[in-house]
Amino acid sequence: MAGIYFHIPFCKSSCVYCDFYHTIDLRRIEELEKCMYRELEERRTYLEQEVIESIYFGGGTPSLLKPETILLFIDSIRSWFKIDSKPEITLEANPDDISRDFIKALRRAGINRISLGVQSFQDFVLEFMGRRHTANKALKSIDIIRREGIINVSVDLIYGSPGYTTNHLLRDLQILERLDIPHFSAYLLTPEKGTLLYQKISDGEVTLPGEEEQFEQYMSLCEFSARNGYRHYEISNFCKGDFIARHNKGYWEGKIYCGIGPSAHSYNGNSRRWNISSLYHYILAIKEGRQYYEEEQLSGKDRYNEYLLTALRTDEGVRPETIRENFGKDLEENFVKGISKFAGKGYVEFYKGRCRLTDQGMFISDSIISSLFLT
């Protein structure tokens, strides 16, 4: 099974925390669509004969695309690739782009899952982040999406903003629960270098909650999800029933995928490839038939580190036996010895022949996982 990702880098404005590749110059949308179409056609053999299980339109703001363009991409995949009989086809959308006609057209194009960038139901947070919608608009958008028949809805939340307390987080989560949202992602606001948020913090204009408060919010999130029947299946992802995000799950399970568009990444089992993060250079390279990506072959060490990095993010964790089968007995022993140190501190648990991070462990997953890497 495999996935296809489209990166649509256009946004109407920039959010304060954003470090995804995006541009607010919307003049070249159609030109880019044509180039991405060419890239898709050129790469029809990249995934060999693997069946496409999921298609994901991410960004940027893919809800700025016309539904006809989305239909063209999906139809092309159907004719150029082998596709599952019931693929998951997700579009990331901003609430301010949602209307009944738009959702109707998306459904006709084949979209069956919407990932909605709500971020918060608190207007003061939305304003601070530079989002273009209000809490009320987010609620209306969710209502429209479901009334128009898309029930597989995921909501993105961001916690840890200035002035955002555990009570605010619980109120946001209660809204999701009341609306019976089957999937949500909750991310801690992180000031990445180069973002406006980072600048504001460096200038002393903004202060984020301290680590203790961040941890309290994270644990409230975990407890809330457990109490309300959400499976915490990945560090930042929660679902009910079988509404797991199949596309993202594919990344964490090491499945292969093909990324189309500027800054999109691809993986074919042996190498990783990343397209140039520049609209200008991507378009120019495609038009001139030049290389628009960089690529690296993965060594055994890379593959082992990637396996730990992805598997330990999930509630299925790592099966030491899998390490033995794929990487040898020495690495299995090395892994068990390394991870056992964290078990005593309550960060790791052993479960049905697997070991996985506890909620506390997930909060500090970066430092745990990197300590287990081969260097």
Comparing C-alpha atoms, which of 179, 115, 112 is closest to residue 148? 112
Residue in 132, 123, 206, 137 with CA at minimum distance from that of residue 168: 123
- Would you count residue 87 as binding ligand SF4 (CB under 6 A)? no
Site for ligand SF4 in 30-59 (CB under 6 A): 59
- For residues 122 and 225, which CB has a smaller minimum distance to ligand SF4 in the complex? 122
Distance separating alpha carbons of residues 231 and 221, to the nearest angstrom: 12
Task: Please select the residue that binds ligand SF4; options are 20, 198, 293, 350, rule is CB under 6 A.
Answer: 20
Alpha helices in the chain (DSSP H): 29-42, 67-80, 100-109, 123-129, 135-147, 166-178, 196-202, 211-227, 246-252, 279-288, 300-311, 320-327, 329-343, 359-363, 365-372
Does 61 bind ligand SF4 (CB under 6 A)? Our answer is: yes
Q: Out of 2, 8, 18, 197, which residue is the one contacting ligand SF4 (CB under 6 A)?
A: 18
Amino acid at 159: Y
Q: How far is the CB of 347 from ligand SF4 (least distance, A)?
A: 30
The least CB distance from residue 217 to ligand SF4, in Å, is: 20
The residue whose Cβ lies closest to ligand SF4 is: 18
Q: Is 370 in the site for ligand SF4 (CB under 6 A)?
A: no
Q: How many CB atoms lie within 10 A of CB 76?
A: 14
Do residues 287 and 38 make contact, with C-beta atoms less than 8 angstroms apart?
Answer: no
Would you call 270 exposed, middle or buried from its count of C-beta atoms within 10 A (0-12, 13-18, 19+)?
exposed
Q: CB-based contacts of 187: which residues, under 8 Å, 6+ apart?
A: 156, 157, 158, 159, 236
Q: Pick the stretch among 8-16, 245-253, 259-267, 319-327 that binds ligand SF4 (CB under 6 A).
A: 8-16
User: Site for ligand SF4 (CB under 6 A): which residue of 22, 168, 255, 313?
Assistant: 22
* 60 binding ligand SF4? (CB under 6 A): yes
**Window of 10-18, 35-43, 102-110, 300-308 that interacts with ligand SF4 by CB under 6 A:** 10-18
Q: Which is nearer to ligand SF4, 153 or 158 (CB)?
A: 158
Size of the site for ligand SF4 (CB under 6 A): 10
Q: Scan residues 91-150 and list those touching ligand SF4 (CB under 6 A).
A: 94
Cβ 117 to ligand SF4 shortest distance, Å: 6
Return d(Cα 359, Cα 230) in angstroms, integer.
14
15 binds ligand SF4 (CB under 6 A): yes
**Measured between alpha carbons, how far is 365 from 312 in angstroms, rounded to an integer?**
8
Binding stretches for ligand SF4 (CB under 6 A): 11, 14-15, 18, 20, 22, 59-61, 94
